[in-house]
Amino acid sequence: MTGLVMFAAALCSLVIGFPVAFTFGAVALVFGAIAAFVEMMPDPSFMMVAEEFVSMFSMMPFRIYSLMTNTILMAIPLFILMGLILQKSQLAERLLESMGILFGKVRGGLAISTVLVGTLLAASTGVVGASVVAMGVISLPVMLKYGYSKKLATGTICAAGTLGQIIPPSIVLIILGDVFQQPVGDLFQAAMMPGLVLVGCYILYIIVISILHKDAAPIIAISEEQKEGMILRALIAIVPPLALILMVLGSIFMGVATPTESAAVGALGAMVLAGMYKRLSWNLVYEASLDTVKITAMVFAILIGATAFSMVFVYTGADYLVEEFMLNLPGEKWGFLILSMLTIMLLGFFIDFIEISYIVVPILLPISESIGINPLWFAILIAMNLQTSFLSPPFGFSLFYLKGVCPPEVQTTDIYRGVIPFIIIQLLVLASIVIFPGVYGF
C-alpha cells in the first residue's frame, strides 16, 4: 500500500499548490526511503536501508540521459518555438479580423470564425495558453461589442483554444507517442478525424444556438469599406499559415520527414511568415526563444520528477495492485475503459496533462495491452479526455487563461456556464470514438 499512499500524498501536495516537478521528486525520495526501510524489516540497519535506497535509484542517471537524448521529445521545444513566433507575430489577430469580416453576415459568424481560427492556431502552434489568450484579447471584446452572449463568447473561445490538445501538431500527442512507444506520425494521423469532428460539432452547436436564441449571436453589419478587398485580405491572412500547416503535417504524413525534422522546418517557416508580415525582429526571436526555454525546462523538470516517482511506485509493487484491480473489474475491457477514462478526467481537474501522461498512463498501458486494446485508439481516447480536463470547472487551465484577459464585466460564472455545453460536446465525441471506433479508422 506504500505506493498508493505515495500517489495520494503527491495529489494532496499538488492541490495545496506545491510546484509539480519538485512535488514528484520530493515525494519519490521520501517514500523511497520509507519503502527501503519497510523492505529491510524486521531488523533494518542504517547501512542496509541506505544501500537499498541507493539501489532503488541506481538507474536514475540512465533514465535522465535517455530523456535528454530522446529524438521524439526533441520535437517539443521546436513546436513550442514555432507556436510562440507565430503568436508574437500577431498571426491570430490577422486571422480573426479577416475571418470575422468574412462570416459577419452569418448569424453567429464571429463565434464560427473564432472556432475556425482556433483550429488553424491549433494546427500551427499547438500551444493552448497562447491560443486562448490571443483569442480572448482580440475576439472577446469584438463579440461583446456586437451583443454576443457572454456565455457563448467565453465558451467558444475556451473550447476553440483547447483544440491544440487534439489537433496535430499537439504536444500531448508527442508525449503520448513517447509513452506508448508509437510513431508520432501515426498518432497525428489518428487524431485528425476526431479533431475535425469536434470542430464540426462546435460549429453546429453555434449555428443551432444562434437560430434558437437570436439575441445570443446577432448578425453584424459590414460597411462598404470593409467589403472592398475583403476576400483578398482574408486570403493574405489565411493562406500563408495554412501553407505552413500543410508543409509541416504533410511531410510527416507522407513519410518525408520525422516529427522532429518537420518541427524544425516549422520553426524556420514561422520566422519566414513573421518576416512576410514585417514582424520579424531580433527582439521577437529572443523573446520567443527565452519563453521556449522556460516552457521546455518546465516540461523536462516534470519528466525527471515523474521518472523518479514511477521508479518508486513500481518498486513498491503498487502497479501490480492497480493492474489486479483493473483486470477484475466487471465488463473486462469496457469496465477498464470506463474507469480509466473517469480517472483521467477527474485527475485532469487538479493536475496537468504532462503529469497524467507520465504517471497515470504508464500504469494503465500494460493493462490495456494485456486486454488487447488498440494502442492508437487508447492514446486518442486519452488525448481527447485530457482536452476535456482543460475546460472542466473549477480548475480547467483554459478558464484561468481566459479569465486573466477578460474585461471586468465578464464574471467567472459566465465562463463556467459558457464552457458546459462544449464539455458535453467533447464527451459525446469521446463516447462516439469509444462506441464507433471503425468510423474513425481504428
Q: What is the pLDDT of residues 199-247, one digit of tens each?
A: 999 999 998 988 888 787 777 666 655 555 666 777 777 778 778 878 8
Q: Supply the pLDDT for residue 174.
A: 83
Buried b (16+ CB within 10 A) or exposed e, 377-411: bbbbbbbbbbbbbbbbeeebbbbebbbebbeeebe
| Calpha distance 132→118 (Å, rounded) | 8
The answer to whether the Cα torsion of 166, 314, 374, 381 is positive or negative is negative
Distant-in-sequence, close-in-space partners of 206: CB < 8 Å, separation ≥ 6: 108, 111, 112, 115, 152, 156, 217
Backbone phi, psi, residue 58, to 5°: -65, -25
Q: What is the pLDDT of residues 112-158, one digit of tens each?
A: 888 888 887 777 666 666 667 767 777 787 778 778 888 888 888 88
Grid coordinates given for 302: 516534470
| Calpha distance 348→385 (Å, rounded) | 8
Q: Supply the pLDDT for residue 223.
A: 60
Do you find a cis peptide bond into 394, omega within 30 degrees of 0? yes
| Calpha distance 431→435 (Å, rounded) | 6
Q: Supply the pLDDT for residue 130.
A: 63
Q: Helix (H, G, I), strand (E, B), or coil: what is residue 380? A: helix
Q: Supply the pLDDT for residue 240.
A: 80
Q: What is the pLDDT of residues 147-166, one digit of tens each?
A: 888 888 888 888 888 887 88
Residue 251, Cα to own-chain centre: how many angstroms? 22
Backbone phi, psi, residue 293, to 5°: -60, -40
Residue ranges in the chain modelled with pLDDT below 50: none
Q: How far is CA 188 from CA 183, 197, 310, in A?
A: 9, 15, 27
Q: Supply the pLDDT for residue 42.
A: 74
Q: Where are the beta strands (DSSP E) in 346-402?
A: none
User: Mean pLDDT, the chain, as a whole number?
Assistant: 80
DSSP string, 308-323: HHHHHHHHTTHHHHHH
Q: Supply the pLDDT for residue 416.
A: 85
